């Protein structure tokens, strides 16, 4: 009897719970693990010199809330950085010479996705079953098929783009390729978002400005506000109705405004009181407005989402004195004859670093990255690593393991540059 009882008790107290706990462990292990949720917000030309005072004054509350919860700092960019080539390096972790997108114009033609020689991040993610959503990412025209959707960005061709550089076609005015993948999504976007501008407005010409500077500035800034409002509506719609594992959106008006309305002083090259004493707040205002767009995006970012806020480069007042000494123009390759006061395609890209800010479940909090620890080459390997996808041999960057609390628990091994 005693032996029987002891056996029964042993079975009840030890064996049964052990069996249940084993079954539970097996059940949990067999559950499909949900993929990480990653949102990348890109800004064309986010300038720390302008943003840091605004953060100090509490005028970018959404960005401040992100900075406090994550890691932040400068991001090393390419020499003579511009948007198409840097965003393509971000996407492929290869140099412009390797990936084929060396600037706005490649071999006499506007850069297009069919010139790409290396597989971009969104294609690698798609091929690994990760759902992808993208809007307004530069140099993504014509839209490539992905496991999700694409709305193209800067360098989309269409009405008013005949000179090959920057233009701003509306969705209905796109020519020479698809701006939306899948094409069936065009009608849905037109119904729910409207006929939006794909990219920020072209800068006014010298002729547009002559003798009517204040009026032309105000008119142009109003259009920029409309473009940003449409972009915010588009992002909100896509996040609400087409959630994807990986989502990337880019803003482009900040850079455009900085080129000719950077708040410069009389000692700066190209200073003209008619232009530069009129709307001193125009450029900082772009970042206050960006902060509101970020606030909209943050409504879709929960505690389990990784959020990366990045920029391809900063922007600074003209300073490259070697250009005039060597007889080169200090112009820029955005096209047109707008009298520019600031630019970013300086020979030394370290003059105009980009920005890097990241938050996420296991990302360190309130940590400033000093110097140039992060490079534009490191974004794609770091994002692939979050999904446990090994870094392809083409990629020159590294996984930013130092931004995570527990690097050893990362799903894939980091490979050094
Ligand atoms: Zn620019």
pLDDT confidence of residue 60: 98
User: Residue range 302-319: average pLDDT?
Assistant: 97
| Residue 27 scores a pLDDT above 90 | no
Distance between Cα 256 and ligand 1 center (Å):
6
297 CA distance to ligand 1 middle (Å): 24
Question: Quick one: angle between helices 213-241 and 282-298, nearest 10?
Answer: 10
Is the Cβ–Cβ distance between 330 and 320 less than 8 Å? yes
How far does the centroid of ligand 1 lie from the alpha carbon of residue 140, in Å? 17
Ligand 1 midpoint to CA 312 (Å): 10
Least confident of 21-25, 46-50, 181-185, 296-300: 21-25
Residue 55's pLDDT is: 98
Which pLDDT value is given to residue 336? 74
- How close is the Cα of 352 to the center of ligand 1, in Å? 11
**Ligand 1 center to residue 314 CA distance, Å?**
9
Could you tell me the distance, in angstroms and rounded to a whole number, from the CA of residue 253 to the centre of ligand 1?
9
Residue 168 in this model has a pLDDT that exceeds 50? yes
Please say if the pLDDT value at position 162 is more than 50: yes
- pTM higher than 0.75, yes or no? yes
- 412 C-alpha to center of ligand 1: Å? 36
Q: Say what percent of the chain tops pLDDT 90.
A: 80
Q: How many whole angstroms from 344 Cα to the centroid of ligand 1?
A: 6
Instruction: Compute the distance between CA of residue 401 and CA of residue 5 in angstroms, rounded to an integer.
Output: 56
The rounded Å distance from CA 377 to ligand 1 centre is: 20
Q: How far is the CA of 255 from the centre of ligand 1 (A)?
A: 5
Tokens of 284: 């900082």
Q: How far is the CA of 137 from the centre of ligand 1 (A)?
A: 14
Q: How far is the CA of 290 from the centre of ligand 1 (A)?
A: 17
For residue 313, how far is its CA from the centre of ligand 1 (angstroms)? 9
pLDDT in tens, 57-89: 999 999 999 999 999 999 999 999 999 999 999
Cα(168) to centroid of ligand 1, in Å?
15
Q: How far is the CA of 114 from the centre of ligand 1 (A)?
A: 23
pLDDT at 327: 66
Q: What does the alpha-carbon distance between residue 78 and residue 80 come to, in Å, rounded to a whole number?
A: 6
Distance from the alpha carbon of residue 343 to the mean position of ligand 1, in angstroms: 6
Going from the Cα of 289 to the center of ligand 1, the distance in angstroms, rounded, reads: 18
Cα 302 to ligand 1 centre (Å): 32
**Band of pLDDT at residue 331, cut at 50, 70 and 90:** low
**Which pLDDT does position 406 carry in this prediction?**
77
Ligand 1 centroid–CA 83 distance in Å is 7
Average pLDDT over residues 218-230: 96
**What distance in angstroms lies between residue 367's CA and the mean position of ligand 1's atoms?**
29
What is the chain's mean pLDDT, rounded? 89
State how far the Cα of 110 lies from the Cα of 383, in Å rounded to an integer.
Answer: 28
| HEC secondary structure over the chain | CHHHHHHHHHHHHHHHHHHHHHHHHHHHHHCCCCCCEEEEEEECCCCHHHHHHHHHCCCCHHHHHHHHCCEEEEEECCCCCCHHHHHHHHHHCCCHHHHCCCCCEECCEECCHHHCCCCCHHHHHHHCCCCEEEEEECCCCCCCCCCEEEEECCCCCECCCCCCCCCCCEHHHECCCCCEECCCHHHHHHHHCCCCECCCCCCCCHHHHCCCHHHHHHHHHHHHHHHHHHHHHHHHHHHHHCCCCEEEEEECHHHHHHHHHCCCCCCCCCCCHHHHCCCCCHHHHHHHHHHHHHHHHHCCCCCCEEEEEEECCCCEECCCHHHHHCCCCCCCCCCCCCCCCEECCCCCHHHCCEEEEEECCCECCCEEECCCCCEHHHHHHHHHHHCCCCCCCCCCCCCCHHHECCHHHCCCCCCCC
Long-range contacts of residues 227-230, Cβ cutoff 8 Å, at least 24 apart:
227/168, 227/196, 227/197, 227/199, 227/200, 227/201, 227/253, 228/253, 228/289, 228/290, 228/293, 230/193, 230/194, 230/196, 230/197
Is the bond into 142 cis (omega within 30 degrees of 0)? yes
Mean pLDDT of 348-365: 97
Q: How far is the CA of 257 from the centre of ligand 1 (A)?
A: 9
- Cβ contacts of 391 within 8 Å, gap of 6 or more: 93, 381, 384, 385, 399, 412, 415
Ligand 1 centroid from CA 133, angstroms: 25
Does residue 22 have a pLDDT over 60?
no
| Å from CA of 14 to ligand 1 middle | 69
Query: At a CB cut-off of 8 Å and minimum separation 6, what does 113 contact?
Result: 139, 140, 141, 142, 143, 144
Span from the CA of 315 to the centroid of ligand 1 (angstroms) = 8
Task: Please report, for residues 57, 370, 404, the alpha-carbon distance to residue 50 in angstroms, rounded to integers and kept in the order given.
Answer: 11, 18, 28
Cα(259) to centroid of ligand 1, in Å? 6
Average the pLDDT over 7-26 and give the result: 46
- What is the Å distance from ligand 1's center to 388 Cα? 34
Residue indicated by tokens 């412009």: 96
pLDDT digits (tens, 9 = 90+) for 105-129: 999 999 999 999 999 999 999 999 9
d(CA 11, CA 32): 32
């Amino acid at each position: 009897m005693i032996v029987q009882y002891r056996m029964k008790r042993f079975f009840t107290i030890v064996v049964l719970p052990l069996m249940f706990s084993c079954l539970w462990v097996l059940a949990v292990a067999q559950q499909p693990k949900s993929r990480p949720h990653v949102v990348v917000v890109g800004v064309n030309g986010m300038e720390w010199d302008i943003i840091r005072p605004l953060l100090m004054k509490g005028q970018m509350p959404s960005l401040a809330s992100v900075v406090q919860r994550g890691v932040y700092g400068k991001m090393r960019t390419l020499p003579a950085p511009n948007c198409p080539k840097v965003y393509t390096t971000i996407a492929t972790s290869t140099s412009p010479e390797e990936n084929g997108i060396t600037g706005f114009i490649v071999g006499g033609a506007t850069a297009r996705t069919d010139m790409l020689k290396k597989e971009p991040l969104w294609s690698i993610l798609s091929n690994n079953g990760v759902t992808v959503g993208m809007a307004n990412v530069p140099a993504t025209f014509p839209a490539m098929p992905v496991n999700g959707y694409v709305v193209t960005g800067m360098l989309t061709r269409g009405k008013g783009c005949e000179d090959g550089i920057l233009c701003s076609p509306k969705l209905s005015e796109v020519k020479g390729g698809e701006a939306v993948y899948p094409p069936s999504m065009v009608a849905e976007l037109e119904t729910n978002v409207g006929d939006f501008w794909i990219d920020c407005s072209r800068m006014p010409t010298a002729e547009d400005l002559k003798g009517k500077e204040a009026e032309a500035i105000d008119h142009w800034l109003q259009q920029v506000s409309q473009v940003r409002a449409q972009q915010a509506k588009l992002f909100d719609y896509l996040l609400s109705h087409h959630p994807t594992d990986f989502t990337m959106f880019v803003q482009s008006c900040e850079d455009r405004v900085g080129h000719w309305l950077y708040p410069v002083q009389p000692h700066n090259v190209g200073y003209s009181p008619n232009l530069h004493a009129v709307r001193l707040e125009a450029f900082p205002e772009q970042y206050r407005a960006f902060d509101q767009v970020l606030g909209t995006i943050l409504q879709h970012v929960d505690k389990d989402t990784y959020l990366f806020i990045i920029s391809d480069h900063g922007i600074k007042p003209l300073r490259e004195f070697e250009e005039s000494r060597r007889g080169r123009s200090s112009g820029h390759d955005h096209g047109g004859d707008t009298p520019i006061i600031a630019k970013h395609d300086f020979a030394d890209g370290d003059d105009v670093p980009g920005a890097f800010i990241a938050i996420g479940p296991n990302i360190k909090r309130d940590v400033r990255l000093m110097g140039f620890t992060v490079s534009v080459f490191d974004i794609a390997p770091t994002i692939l690593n979050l999904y446990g996808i090994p870094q392809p041999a083409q990629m020159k960057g590294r996984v930013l393991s130092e931004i995570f609390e527990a690097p050893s628990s990362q799903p894939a091994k980091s490979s050094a540059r």
